[in-house]
Each structure stands twice: as C-alpha cells, then as structure tokens.
Amino acid sequence: WIQESSFIPSTTRKYWWLLPMVLAMVPPYCAVVHGTYATMPDWWNVVRMDHIAAADNAHWVLGQFLGSNISYIFSGAYL
C-alpha cells in the first residue's frame, strides 16, 4: 500500500494536526493499558508552580497568561 513515493509527505501534510491529539492519549493509554501513570522523563525537570497560584496577586498573573491565549480561542472558533 506504500507504492507511491509521496505517501508519507502527503499524509504528513494532510494529517499534521493529529499529533497533539495522539500525544494527549498517552496518559489515558498508560492508565488503562499499563495500570500506571504517565510521568515526565528524568531529564525533563518540571518546576512546581504552586507558589504562583497561592500568591495574593495570582489573579493578575494567571489572568494575563490565560488572556494571552485568546487568539487561539478565536482561531479555534473560526475553524
């Protein structure tokens, strides 16, 4: 079924948007199939950000972050 030399490039161009959805399925797959939780690799240090949400001005910090994503919301609504 892969007789055409342009199969992979054309498929990649057509279905590139599936990659984030496939990556989002990793945690449920690990939980259901393997019975474990997906974790970050050891070489990828994740910094705890609890102190930001606990700060007195957390609504300003989080509001600015969420507000910066408004263009993505409009783009999704348009599509």
Nearest to 39 by CA among 24, 27, 52, 22: 27
Report, as an integer, the average pLDDT of 55-59: 89
Q: For the whole model, what pTM was predicted?
A: 0.42
Confidence band for 4, pLDDT divided at 50, 70 and 90? low
Residue range 60-68: mean pLDDT, rounded:
89
- The pLDDT of 43-61, averaged and rounded, is 86
Q: Taking residues 52-74, what's their average pLDDT? A: 89
Question: pLDDT band for position 33 (50/70/90)?
Answer: very high
pLDDT at 49: 83
